[in-house]
Copies of this chain bind each other. A is one copy, B any other.
């Protein structure tokens, strides 16, 4: 049935969630609000939309839309219509949102060591999952098949053709894909 490592992964996931629950209740938030703030702090400029959040968190668009409305009213996020595509509404963290997130992050323990092999293991798991789930994306630009190094200040995204500043390469992208499609 469940393998040894699956049991630990299960526990890891439960404990992570439990930790988040503690963090939010200390700040009078709901779980989903922290998830949204956290996502917005690590996603790239292509991925700050309700649709992306819906895919990332695995919840319906309607539910996300409602949560965003509340967080907009409370001043934790800002929504701006995208000029290029007027169907799209881009979401941004406000200073208030960032500050709330920082407070909640204090309640969370981070990974004690940055062992490359652990990172590699986690990535191999994600890779397997994504392959099963029709390449549903979300990963750092630097590990993406579209990532093209350019110079020290920027890299090129092979999908959009745009040049992005180097700091963006560690952010999550909804278009991320490890492997070329079959």
Contact = CB atoms under 8 A, between A and B. Distances in A.
Interface of A: 1-19, 21-22, 35, 38-39, 41-42, 56-59, 102, 105, 109-115, 117-119, 121-126, 128-130, 132-133, 138-140, 170, 172
Query: Closest 6 interchain pairs by CB?
Result: A18-B58, A118-B121, A5-B111, A21-B58, A112-B128, A13-B16
B58 A35 contact: no
Given A41-B2, A121-B118, A12 B58 contact: no
Contacts of A9: 12, 16, 111, 122
Contacts of A42: 2, 7, 10
Contacts of A110: 2-3, 5-6
Contact of A8 (B10, B15, B123, B129): B123
B111 A117 contact: no
11 contacts: A2-B105, A3-B111, A4-B140, A4-B170, A7-B170, A9-B12, A14-B58, A17-B57, A18-B58, A113-B124, A117-B117
